[in-house]
Structure 1
């Protein structure tokens, strides 16, 4: 009880004073948050690494913690040093283990949920009506897909937490004029920007919250008053945004483009009608998936129709309650439109399907905006009857129960769909295989296409994905024993499928003679186009040492050789009519025979 009282006083001392019901409202809110975190923990710890997660882990294993190569990386249009920092810490603590990553998701969700509770308390005070918007945020499936996917969660959870916290700081700064809220809001904005560029909207949402609060309260010149009373926060946020924009524009290649009108209509319709609106009622109930892609909402047609009808009904009700509520609806619609426009302009392409908009992760932060908007509308006093009747309370309780049941069903069906992820079993088998014989080097090659598609190259290579795995075999460009990981993560014997051949050399009883004084051309029977090729090197060496081999315009690969006859396999990227080779050790002479150039596949 003492803890609840202290929390209540911390949230809003003025609002809670003289309101004994504030204790039970806060207690109920905290119980709901605990229930949410329990449900989300089951989802998180039952998951596994997926897609971009392995890119974050791979880069964390390759680069030092505070290096520019790690923190300043342009990750598919995202500048997210905070996410890479968290990934590095987690990877250093427990390489390629899922449970610490899941713990960060739950911790991030806890921060976001408490921040939402704070802003609701500041807007509504210790009123039972606070529990409605809070219940929506805690259990809506709108935030599910981004939460379950670690890389997406590292983007979206700091954005959600930052949006709610800075909106609360803006309210406190406007009410009290204290500088500490401006400093806190500015700092949180900066932290959110370290995780996700969409956090540029955090100050805008905070400003809209204060301005709409004043307008719905009937204050004159609401926008001007909001700008003046929290001016230090807006100034600090503007400076942070300017510094961040300079870094973003200098480090990130622009992905913005102009999609076709059909693409805009299709993605907007699918994102709103099949994604956002059903989630407002706890949908979509059903999910579909094209592995290895992420799940996407697949609501029944009836739910889509009911969702549209419900939104229109709530719109009419809120306008009858207060005509000023129209401003809240306009602001919420503008945010949804901005999120949709950002998704379309950066993710459209000839191969883009409309189901992309139904994955919901591009609208996760909309949940916070909807919650703030609902609180602003509930804040206004009804024009007809200021006291809700028992019948209204019963209807509200029934709606809350139905909504929660709908959300939990959608969560359960999502978890079932999300569990169809082969990455966990693949990583477990691969870690065991790669550490079984650490003394035998393995030729670098892509992981299974069911784990990472070739479009992620070079992040899909074994050397990247397993860069942080301790005690593993060396993974590189040279081996004497061809092995590959199959689609189940097992290390199996492999063979070289020839595409071209190195022609025999001119030296009698030698072939191609390599010395340390000259570079020898190894002509192929036909030119090779650009690619990742493997060459079989059959040699006779005069001593132990190294040779270098590669395409004329490509990187040279250093290949260890041992005295006498031997065979090595080298991975040589590039293109050309043949290879070039030389001895890389003084007084080492090596004879090379002709051999195949091709690709390595499981035997």
Structure 2
């Protein structure tokens, strides 16, 4: 049995249908062009955000085709395809937004054309195809995941994969041609390379084919679907098994079962305040607390209206169509499972319920809804109940459809505009622009790496919140090193400003008469209180510290500086009086120093030991040293 049950059309009917189909195709392509223009404006006015900078940093740190780069466990995601695209674009133009913006528009075009394809496979050239297509194209449900580059590299290939594999499965069911199984398997592999959630694609395709078979009158649609598409399902199983092997060997299980008592709140916020309002043109307004992404804040009237409208749509579908009883439950199950995945991977203590309103965890539901509407539209009609004939008559339906479409498009465009306003409120823009210009203008002196502004990346992103990681891919910049003779830092606006070491502890004067702490080619710092050791005023815990070493050297040379539990740092020194600022890891009560150059002789005075902060002006007040009255470099 085939899914289509209509009789062969007469020649004139066939010609009319072909003409109508061409007009529908032109209209559909026009809608896609309009969508791409709107989304292109959003992308052009956007910028890098959070994970985008991590992708850039890793692209600068690793070879493009290395396993360390492509198979990295990115917060529970395995996404070699996304890393490859990000890596290529970063190598071409690091920290230039134009190429990522273009990549988002290209991926959106592929996803939109994929949805058009599956709708044409299901509905042919029916004008009603434009309804689910417009819903997918303009619903703000997919907007946040599109605008955020790192998320778009996940979501857009998933959306394209859902549509394309479903289309191939339907064609395989109808024709039995093995090329559809091969194409579907290949698309699945590509989708999995971008996002692990693509494991759902074969199951979505199976359910879609079974629902179409059921609507066509097949009494055993599941058995028919299994048999007719067995080659595709067998290939999908082998692909998923192979993918799961790679995933489990490279990614730490991201599932969290603690604090499941928050699940109800997350589901409520994700459905009532996120999914449903956005599906029908909302949320109209957004909120944001930088550096978090925007989240939907629909008014109560829209939330209530969305629930009433979805109920009316479901009731109306059942009044007009037969054999669709499982369609909406299948959609609801997909949306629920998507949000449960969010709860199990992102829920827990400290997780704000607003995360469910960011929409990125349910964006792909838009493809599922579009397919569901197409399945319903091709299902057999049922006789209209007399009470509903005035509402559902041939004359009133176009008017009702036009009004609903106008309201939906107006709401969607307004929601897009308000989202874009919030999305542009991104401190990363000025920070990266200012820092890029400052680094290019000061390439002569090494720069100590530091944490970037907390308005750009929080410490939880470590080690990729370091300036050496974020700006490492730049070609025009100073060297990032663990020591420098001149201390500067990037402030919260990205400007390169003079800096100093805070007095969390003090490097104390040594005991060598007329020298302080002595270091020679034969003496190695091993403990505080003897030649070659620089004692701290008080011990410190293991951390990342900065030491200001004030020295007098008999010649140019190299020394090695370290702390217990840390990695030694090789530091160049110059003849005469000098200062070296050294970034150290470790803890303890002393800084250990040794001379690498054999005939090197140095004397070290006191100095600050702590973290790098913007330098105070000359009249900026006293500096409280820990355990000392201040630095007294020996001269």
Query: Secondary structure in 2 aligned to 1:498?
Result: coil
Moved more, 87-96 or 142-151: 87-96
Query: Secondary structure in 2 aligned to 1:361?
Result: coil
Q: Match of 1:486?
A: 491
After superposition, the C-alpha distances for 1:1-24 in whole angstroms (9 at most, x for unaligned) are: xxxxxxxxxxxxxx9995221100
Q: Is the 8 A contact 1:16 1:125 kept in 2?
A: no
Q: Match of 1:7?
A: none
Q: Counterparts of 1:89 and 1:495 in 2: how far apart (Å)?
A: 38
Q: Is the 8 A contact 1:16 1:126 kept in 2?
A: no
What aligned pairs does 1:288-437 form with structure 2 within 5 A after superposition?
288-384=287-383, 389-437=394-442
Unaligned runs of 5+ in 2: 1-13, 528-533, 616-635
TM-aligned CA deviation for residue 324 of structure 1: 2.7
Q: Match of 2:6?
A: none
Query: Secondary structure in 2 aligned to 1:523?
Result: strand
TM-aligned CA deviation for residue 99 of structure 1: 0.7
Query: Secondary structure in 1 aligned to 2:325?
Result: helix
Q: Is the 8 A contact 2:322 2:382 kept in 1?
A: no
Q: Counterparts of 2:211 and 2:599 in 1: how far apart (Å)?
A: 81
Q: Is the 8 A contact 1:435 1:472 kept in 2?
A: yes
1:565 to 558, 577, 597: 577
Q: Match of 1:448?
A: 453
After superposition, the C-alpha distances for 1:197-248 in whole angstroms (9 at most, x for unaligned) are: 1011011111111111101111121011111111111111111111111111
Where is the helix percentage greater, Structure 1 or Structure 2? Answer: 1
What aligned pairs does 1:259-278 form with structure 2 within 5 A after superposition?
259-278=258-277
Unaligned runs of 5+ in 1: 1-14
CA RMSD of aligned residues (A): 1.6
Q: Counterparts of 1:261 and 1:16 in 2: how far apart (Å)?
A: 58
What aligned pairs does 1:224-235 form with structure 2 within 5 A after superposition?
224-235=223-234
1:538 aligns with 2:537: no
| Structure number, greater radius of gyration | 2
Q: Counterparts of 2:484 and 2:545 in 1: how far apart (Å)?
A: 14
What aligned pairs does 1:111-260 form with structure 2 within 5 A after superposition?
111-260=110-259
Q: Match of 1:49?
A: 48
TM-aligned CA deviation for residue 540 of structure 1: 2.0
Q: Counterparts of 1:206 and 1:504 in 2: how far apart (Å)?
A: 74
Moved more, 124-133 or 486-495: 486-495
Moved more, 314-323 or 162-171: 314-323
Q: Counterparts of 2:503 and 2:260 in 1: how far apart (Å)?
A: 47
Q: Counterparts of 2:194 and 2:574 in 1: how far apart (Å)?
A: 50
Query: Secondary structure in 2 aligned to 1:218?
Result: coil
Q: Counterparts of 2:152 and 2:41 in 1: how far apart (Å)?
A: 16
Q: Counterparts of 2:420 and 2:309 in 1: how far apart (Å)?
A: 27
Q: Counterparts of 1:16 and 1:104 in 2: how far apart (Å)?
A: 39
Q: Counterparts of 1:352 and 1:218 in 2: how far apart (Å)?
A: 47
Query: Secondary structure in 2 aligned to 1:325?
Result: coil
TM-aligned CA deviation for residue 400 of structure 1: 1.3
Q: Counterparts of 1:308 and 1:532 in 2: how far apart (Å)?
A: 53
Q: Is the 8 A contact 1:273 1:304 kept in 2?
A: yes
Q: Match of 1:10?
A: none
1:80 aligns with 2:92: no
Q: Counterparts of 1:507 and 1:196 in 2: how far apart (Å)?
A: 62
Q: Counterparts of 2:452 and 2:600 in 1: how far apart (Å)?
A: 36
Q: Match of 1:100?
A: 99
Q: Match of 1:8?
A: none
Q: Counterparts of 1:227 and 1:253 in 2: how far apart (Å)?
A: 33
Query: Secondary structure in 1 aligned to 2:572?
Result: strand
Q: 1:277 to 1:259 in 2, by over 3 A?
A: farther
TM-aligned CA deviation for residue 550 of structure 1: 1.5
TM-aligned CA deviation for residue 29 of structure 1: 0.2
1:31 aligns with 2:30: yes
Q: Is the 8 A contact 2:181 2:229 kept in 1?
A: yes
Query: Secondary structure in 1 aligned to 2:225?
Result: helix
Q: Is the 8 A contact 1:480 1:568 kept in 2?
A: yes
After superposition, the C-alpha distances for 1:246-304 in whole angstroms (9 at most, x for unaligned) are: 11111111121114343011000000000001012100001011111000000000100
1:60 aligns with 2:70: no
Q: Is the 8 A contact 1:528 1:576 kept in 2?
A: yes
What aligned pairs does 1:498-537 form with structure 2 within 5 A after superposition?
498-520=503-525, 521=527, 522-537=534-549
Q: Match of 2:280?
A: 281
Q: Match of 1:3?
A: none
Q: Counterparts of 1:152 and 1:277 in 2: how far apart (Å)?
A: 21
Q: Is the 8 A contact 1:258 1:345 kept in 2?
A: yes
TM-aligned CA deviation for residue 319 of structure 1: 2.0
Q: Counterparts of 1:179 and 1:275 in 2: how far apart (Å)?
A: 40
1:473 aligns with 2:478: yes
1:551 aligns with 2:563: yes
Q: Is the 8 A contact 2:546 2:582 kept in 1?
A: yes
Q: Is the 8 A contact 1:49 1:423 kept in 2?
A: yes
Q: 1:427 to 1:262 in 2, by over 3 A?
A: same
Q: Is the 8 A contact 1:483 1:492 kept in 2?
A: yes
Query: Secondary structure in 2 aligned to 1:529?
Result: strand
Q: 1:568 to 1:128 in 2, by over 3 A?
A: same
Q: Counterparts of 1:110 and 1:388 in 2: how far apart (Å)?
A: 36
Q: Counterparts of 1:82 and 1:585 in 2: how far apart (Å)?
A: 48
Q: Is the 8 A contact 1:146 1:156 kept in 2?
A: yes
Q: Counterparts of 1:514 and 1:458 in 2: how far apart (Å)?
A: 33
TM-score (norm 1): 0.95
After superposition, the C-alpha distances for 1:388-440 in whole angstroms (9 at most, x for unaligned) are: 61211221122112111111111011011111112111111111100102111
After superposition, the C-alpha distances for 1:477-533 in whole angstroms (9 at most, x for unaligned) are: 111111111111111111111111222223223333334455303321211123221
Q: Counterparts of 1:553 and 1:307 in 2: how far apart (Å)?
A: 59
Question: In the comparison of the two structures, how many residue pairs are matched?
Answer: 589
Q: Is the 8 A contact 1:531 1:574 kept in 2?
A: yes
Q: Is the 8 A contact 2:259 2:349 kept in 1?
A: no
